[in-house]
Amino acid sequence: MVESERALLLESEEPPYPPLRRGEDADIPTCRVSVMVRKRPVSAKEFALKQCDVVTALRDSGHMVVHEPKVSVDMSRRVESSAFAFDGAFGEDSTNDEVYASAVAPLVRLCLEGQGAHATCFAYGQTGSGKTYTMKACYRAVAEELVEGAERCGLSLWVSFYDIYAGKCYDLLSSRKQLSALEDKRGRVRLVGLLETKVKSAREVMTAVERGMACRKTSRTDSNVNSSRSHSIFQVVLRPADAMDSKTPAMSRLSLVDLAGSERGADRGKAVDGKIRQEGAEINKSLLALKECIRALSSSGGGGGVNAVSEGVDPREDLGGDDRHVPFRGSQLTKVLRDAFVGAKSKTVLLAHVAPTSVAAEHTMNTLRYALRLKD
């Protein structure tokens, strides 16, 4: 039944749903917030378990459609399809290169072009939906494009990698040393002691990435704690070529954030022990705060990139005081990434990930609803 529904959608001559957001807002490279969704393929294990694929991506119109099998009151079976429209929808046959080109490459260009750019890509979705798979590919592509671009533009690149677990920050390039987040008088949060390493080649960037990812996986003392419960943040800061240390003000900053699994929020309340409940509540809080901050950025004007901002300028001035309405204090994640949500040259892409199977359908619906709310 799902298959015939999908065939109808994919083979229809007329687009089954109209494309989203015509006009100015459809210009993805220039709007402040873009929301895209990627569906991963059915895995061999899911296939062996005969789990049904209930998600269809309509690439041309940017829709993700979920087909939920239902039983009517007269006991007849039917499929209920819900369609969600985004700035981009990638199906199981999409490649990392395609996703990178649409979602992350515009952020890299923004960082190379402009003083004061804060570009951020968030990978959102339940555990197992493909966030890390996409992010890993993006680290590599970013490394190559930024190194080449920095050379061309006379800039130097500095990388850092940290994660946030239960509201605390840990440096993934310094054996998970705990970092303190201190707020300066302008309200900016600085991670004191965060190691920023100057890198000259794509290989050096990838060495740092691999070190950080290995640290994220293995260095937890508590074996219950895994990467799906922390947010990891990989940052590349661009400075003038002759910058000698990380005290030199940044020209622009690109952050790639692999978020904690979004299923925690739904699990809240059912959690068995206090620690897990606390963890789930913390993740829930940060994902809700993130939603509010992205919504605030999205409604603060579509023009992104109009006025250049220098490091010395208080971003509040650039938005005419608008950041009072950005609720970044709601979680450690949004506090640390505050500059991603304020300032005239902030641009954010949220790349939501969904698993294809019926077993995951409830989480898939929750993910799509969350993603949809970011720009309405």
Confirm whether residue 261 is marked as ligand binding: no
The partner residues of 192 in beta bridges, in order of sequence, read: 180
Confirm whether residue 95 is marked as ligand binding: no
Of the residues 67, 229, 335, 353, which one makes contact with ligand ADP according to CB under 6 A: 353
Contact stretch for ligand ADP (CB under 6 A) within 65-73, 120-128, 138-146, 292-300 = 120-128
Count residues contacting ligand ADP (CB under 6 A)?
Answer: 13
Interaction between residue 248 and ligand ADP (CB under 6 A): no
Residue closer to ligand ADP (CB basis): 156 or 357: 357
Of the residues 88, 114, 130, 343, which one makes contact with ligand ADP according to CB under 6 A: 130
| Cα 303 from Cα 106, distance rounded (Å) | 14
Confirm whether residue 128 is marked as ligand binding: yes
Q: Which of residues 216-245 bind ligand ADP (CB under 6 A)?
A: 228
**Partner from Mg ion, ligand ADP, none binding residue 130, C-beta < 5-8 Å depending on class:** ligand ADP
Q: List phi, psi (to 5°) of 58.
A: -110, 95
Of the residues 88, 125, 265, 315, which one makes contact with ligand ADP according to CB under 6 A: 125
Nearest to 138 by CA among 108, 87, 92, 96: 96
Q: Which of residues 127-146 bind Mg ion (CB under 5 A)?
A: 131-132
Interaction between residue 174 and ligand ADP (CB under 6 A): no
Confirm whether residue 130 is marked as ligand binding: yes
**Partner from Mg ion, ligand ADP, none binding residue 115, C-beta < 5-8 Å depending on class:** none
Of the residues 6, 63, 118, 131, which one makes contact with ligand ADP according to CB under 6 A: 131
Interaction between residue 127 and ligand ADP (CB under 6 A): yes
Minimum distance from residue 262 beta carbon to Mg ion (Å): 11
The amino acid at 371: A
**Partner from ligand ADP, Mg ion, none binding residue 353, C-beta < 5-8 Å depending on class:** ligand ADP
Of the residues 128, 212, 327, 356, which one makes contact with ligand ADP according to CB under 6 A: 128
Contact stretch for ligand ADP (CB under 6 A) within 40-48, 62-70, 272-280, 290-298 = 40-48
Minimum distance from residue 73 beta carbon to ligand ADP (Å): 37
Confirm whether residue 30 is marked as ligand binding: no
Binding site for Mg ion (CB under 5 A): 131-132
Residues tagged in the binding site annotation for ATP: 125-132
Binding site for ligand ADP (CB under 6 A): 40-41, 43, 125, 127-133, 228, 353
Residues tagged in the binding site annotation: 125-132
